[in-house]
Amino acid sequence: MEIQTYILGPFQTNTYLLKEGDRILLIDPASKAEKIISILGDQKPDAILLTHGHFDHIKAVDGLYQEYHCPVYLHEADEAMARDKNSGSVFRTVAYISCPVEHLKEGRMQIGPFDFEVIFTPGHTKGSVIYVFDDCIFTGDTLFKGSIGRTDLKGGSEREMKQSLQIFRQFKKDYNIYPGHDFPSKLSYELATNIYLIG
């Protein structure tokens, strides 16, 4: 699987384009729908996967849906927030979705040639999830290199985050970590150095 990373929007959000042959998934199309459409050319994404519903991860969703009418997957607990036109107002920005969404369920998921696992990880938001592929995990704002996502925003919970972080200690493979912001990492590195995972 080929992974392309595009850093988009004022909050430098990582948008991921996954390719298997001529098949494509998009994870967290944060901004600049026109740029993403230009990158895709004549290819159409099989689906859009959202790690959570925060405004800085969803701004390009409506534009992409209007272009491709591909399914958009989001955890049900974050749908209201993602549809709230005022959700980014504290940061003086506007980003929300109005297109249809399909609700994620925990467990294995197959979209075209892409086989992966959806794991529910509340803490940063009520509906945060991570996506576990063969050798990589897309962690959204649950886990960053050397840090974790904020828990002081609406829907956040320090208690739930601590519980969700336990999941990373249970993995048996040294996954590549692709977070919602900043640089990629390795699970072994995070388990050894990330203060939120040590102990």
For 143-173, the pLDDT digits (tens) are 999 999 999 988 899 999 999 999 999 999 9
Which residue reads 């803490």 in tokens?
123
- Distance, CA of 97 to CA of 61 (rounded, Å): 7
- Distance, CA of 139 to CA of 57 (rounded, Å): 13
Which residue reads 């995972």 in tokens?
197
Return the structure tokens found at 117: 């696992």
| Structural domains for the chain | 2-193 (3.60.15.10)
Which pLDDT score is estimated for 8? 94
Residue 134, Cβ neighbours under 10 Å: how many? 10
Element housing 144 (H / E): strand 143-144
Return the structure tokens found at 180: 């919602």
SS3 119: strand
Which pLDDT score is estimated for 89? 47
Which pLDDT score is estimated for 155? 87
Which pLDDT score is estimated for 88? 54
Q: Which residues of the chain have pLDDT under 50?
A: 89
